[in-house]
Structure formats: C-alpha cells, structure tokens
Amino acid sequence: MHLMRNPLPKTQHRKRTSVRGSADPQVLVIGVGNEIRGDDAIGLYVCRILKGKLPHQCTIVEDSGDGAHLIELWKNSQTTILVDAVRSGAKQGQVYKYDAHQRPLPTTLFQNSTHAFGVPQAIELARALNQLPQKLTVYGIEGACFDEGAAISPIVERAGKEVAESIALEISHNNRV
C-alpha cells in the first residue's frame, strides 16, 4: 500500500507564516531567491543555515521575492531581517547591510524580480502605505553567477555563512537585552 501524508507542499525548509498575516513574530527572517539560479539562491541558503538555530519566537521564511507578498509577510512583524542576492559589479561575496528606515535601497543593486516589483519597490510601497515593520534590516550579498542550474559559488556561500552568523548573533544579543 502506498500512503501519502500531506501531499500538498509544506516546503521542507520553509517555516511559513500565514499569508493571512495571523503570525506576529518578534523577529521574521526572510530569505529571497531563486533555487535554480546560482548565486541568486543565497537568501534561501542563509535561511537553511539558520533553521533550528534561532529562538522559537523567530520565524524563517523562504520567498521568491514578489513585492506584494513581501509586504504581506512583514506587515505584522516588529523586526524583519531580509537577505537577498545583489548584483552591483562589486567583488563577489561582498555584503551590504541597510536599515530600510534610514534611506531607500538602491534599486539598481537588487535583482529585478517579476514585473519590476521586487525588494526595493516593496520597501518603498510599504513605506508609502505605512506597512513597514518597526525595524527592517536588509542584507545584500554580491553574486556573480546567476546561470540557470548553477550552484552557489563558494565565495558567495562563505559570505552567506557569515551573514547567517551575524543574524544569529544579532538576534541572540537583542534577546539578552
């Protein structure tokens, strides 16, 4: 007999928040990326490193980066940390860190997503609609290879590990405070 439990996808690596926004996590970590586009997957990779290593009140979400969905995800969270790949021409693996409340993100840095409505646009739209989390930190990791089917480059992977470590430390520090 072939039994199938929960055949609908509850993504192995993804701890989803409700799209209805019922979740109210103290800290929400969002990794943005495309699994099959090389370094573009680095946001997802960071999420997978952090899984099981953060306090229970933290929520980790992997997302494709659709702007409208991002707003929906973070609008009820107090603190959101978002990780995405960037492409600026800088050295591979370079890490950028932005406080979204301080200034707009440079749109040229982040990979454009569907219909040109990705991370920077979502932040600005949320700002206009007063739907930004109280604190929103964005990590951008410089990628080099975005080819279909490629793996994450070793240098970018190393940068992802460092970012994951920084996020874990930051959350742990804030928890102590």
Partner 1 sequence: MPSKTIDVDALARVEGEGALNLKIKDRKVTEAKLRIYEPPRFFEAFLRGRHFTEAPDITARICGICPIAYQMSSVHAMENACGVQVEGSLRELRRLIYCGEWIESHALHIYMLHAPDFLGYDNVLQIARDSPKIVQRGLRLKKIGNELVTLLGGREIHPINVRVGGFYKVPTKQELTPIGEELKWARKAAEETIQWVAGFKFPNFEQEYEYVALRHPGEYPFNEGNLVSSNGLNIPIKDYEENFIEEHVAHSNSLHSHMKNGRTYITGPMARLNLNFDKLSPSARKAAKQAGLKPPCRNPFKSIIARGVETLHACDEALRIIKEYTPPAEPAVRVSPRDGTGYGCTEAPRGILYHRYAINKEGTILEAKIVPPTSQNQARIEEDLKHFVEKHLRLTTEKLTWQCEQLIRNYDPCISCATHYLKLNIEREQV
Please report whether residue 112 would count as binding partner 1 according to CB under 8 A. Answer: yes
Alpha helices (H) in the chain, listed in sequence order: 42-50, 67-74, 119-128, 154-176
101 belongs to the binding site for partner 1 (CB under 8 A): no
Q: How far is the CB of 177 from partner 1 (least distance, A)?
A: 34
Binding residues for partner 1, how many (CB under 8 A)? 24
Task: Pick between residue 7 and residue 89 the one whose CB is nearest to partner 1.
Answer: 7
Residues 39-68 that bind partner 1 (CB under 8 A): 64, 66, 68
| Dist CA 110 CA 84 (whole Å) | 8
Phi and psi based region of residue 49 (left: phi greater than 0; alpha: psi -120 to 50; beta: remaining): alpha
Q: Are 9 and 45 in contact (CB under 8 A)?
A: no
Residue ranges binding partner 1 (CB under 8 A): 7-9, 19-20, 64, 66, 68-69, 71-72, 107, 112-117, 121, 124-125, 128-130
